[in-house]
Amino acid sequence: MILMLHNKFAYGVLVLLRDGDLWDFWAFKPRFVYFHTASFWTVDEYPFTYPPVLGVIFAVLYKIPHVLRLYLLTCVAALTAWAWIAAREITLRCGSSRWIALAFTLSIPLTAWPVFLLLTSANIEGLVAIVLAAGIWAVLRRRWWPGAALIAIAGSMKIFPLALLALLLTRRRYREFAGGLAVVAILTVASLAILGPSVMEAQRHIAAGLSFVKYTYALSVTQYAPDVSHSLFSPIKFSAIVLYRLLHPATWRSGQQAVLDLIYNIYVPFACVLGLLAYFLRIRRMPMLNQVFALSVCAVLLPPFSVDYTLINLFLPLGLLLVYTAENWRMGIAVKGLQACYVCFAFLYPIGTFFTLKYRFGSLVRSVALTALLVVVLRYPFPWTALDEGELA
């Protein structure tokens, strides 16, 4: 594997080595000895790189006995439940054997690169994905307030899930949408106060941590992190750097950082405008399955740094797509765009697709696949009464 990928570490990240195993979960534990003190922010050279709500959540988790084992088991249980429910619904809609359907649905998380990366790094993304999926499911079942609250909680842990609050706008649930934003604001301010020593001081350190992520990972072209970032920013960044080096072969080293800063400052507002235009001009007019898919893809594609384990947030849309496909297959209806969606997932999920001639190209392939998936779900409507009319069981 290491020889095939031309890298010291498998897949370009510290996931199959003992020292790197489960790093994400324990990375911040030493500083929590000094929780709610000024030393919390200075005790370790590696800064706290998450929104403040996750600081409070980590403080609670680290006090639970065997918490890592419980967390990983929770992630595995959630994925198993996804496979079981999807297999049950596929069986009910097309009459196939439940065990065959279950073997098929289980094979997806068992062979999915994002799941492998999540479990071997023990990143907290699993908790975010579970809360977000519960929120989306509640909205699809027209449980507006619980859905808004759960999506808001997920968005307060990591910002990108807030894109899914747009599902409430589509249904003209303006109070619930505003309530979700209020939940985010309340949780954020309260968490800053708890982290201390003051709200403003805590926010200053949180901002410093986000700046660290920007310069160490998002703008990096040499670290291992870009190898597992499928952000749309990745191909734009690398293309610009290659062009700059060709145009300035003698001085590119001294000017590269300025170019990266410029590209980043252009990309962030561009991504925001692109997402808003996509929603107001197209997404909100499409069937709910398309909306869930498009918003979920935008949430993991448009941020300037988006690690591959965030792709587990596409499991809920994928499960809905599988059930939708089974129902249409039973009725003999050929829906345009379905095959293209599955082709895109063939480049996003299976581990085998990452054995490339040079491992770094894998991140670019995933960016292209996500972009293609977004284009497909924006181009082809997937009408489904169960979602569009709120008839989910």
Site of tokens 């995933």:
366
**pTM confidence score:** 0.91
**pLDDT of res. 16:** 40
If you ran DSSP here, which 8-state letter would residue 48 be given?
P
Banded pLDDT at 248 (limits 50, 70, 90): confident
250 against 62, higher pLDDT: 62
The pLDDT assigned to 387 comes to 87
Instruction: Kindly tell me if the per-residue pLDDT of 379 is higher than 50.
Output: yes
Q: What angle do CA 300, 303, 309 make, to 5 degrees?
A: 40
Q: Which tens digit of pLDDT belongs to each residue from 320-333?
A: 999 999 998 888 78
Residues 136-155 pLDDT 10s: 999 999 999 999 999 999 99
Identify the band that residue 357 occupies on the pLDDT scale cut at 50, 70 and 90. very low
* Lowest model confidence (mean pLDDT) among 71-75, 91-95, 114-118, 340-344: 91-95
Mean pLDDT, rounded, for 344-354: 78
What gap in Å lies between CA 17 and CA 165, rounded to an integer?
39
pLDDT number for residue 390: 67
Provide the mean pLDDT of the chain.
Answer: 87
**Neighbouring residues of 78: CB distance < 8 A, sequence distance ≥ 6:** 126, 129, 130, 133
Cβ proximity of 367 and 301 under 8 Å: yes
